[in-house]
Amino acid sequence: MSRRSRSREFALQILYQDDVNPGEDLVVAEPYLRSRLNKDDLLEFSLSLVSGVRRNREELDELLNRVAENWTLQRMAVTDRNVLRIGAYEILYTTTPVRVVLNEAVELAKRFGSRQSAQFVNGVLDRVLSECGRQE
């Protein structure tokens, strides 16, 4: 597992926590991530994912609701929903290569989701790419 993969994994854990415990203190992210990621660049990357998804969550959710045919975010598994938020955030707001974003999201879905999660996440993020027009 790459170092950035671990950063994404810990960001997913924080965003999952945000999702299942709305209104909880959001300040816990940095101390938690600092205790798990001992390299400053990894900590910075993970914090940027968490803060970026939090800051743009409404827009990300609108986009995901629009492109996830026959699904609403509320019907999705919490893990899948947050993997999709991270992937959509990286597609829209970072320079991470598209292929890396897709591969990382699929791996997170395989690791933390159900048997169908990887295929579901890949399909929805493909539609995000089509919608926003970002090329590989």
Model-wide pTM > 0.95 = no
Residue identified by tokens 């986009």 is: 63
Residue 26 pLDDT greater than 70, yes or no: no
CA angle 109, 127, 136 (to 5 degrees): 85
- Domain of residue 13, residue span: 3-132
Task: Supply the mean pLDDT for the chain.
Answer: 91
Please report, for the domain that includes residue 86, its CATH number.
1.10.940.10
Measured CA distances, 23 to 37, 63, 100, 104 (Å): 25, 23, 32, 28
CA distance 66 to 35: 37
| pLDDT category of residue 115 using cuts at 50, 70 and 90 | very high
- Give me the pLDDT at residue 25, please: 64
State how many domains the chain has.
1
**Those residues with Cβ within 8 angstroms of residue 61's Cβ, 6 or more apart along the chain or in another chain:** 73, 85
Q: How many residues does the chain have?
A: 136
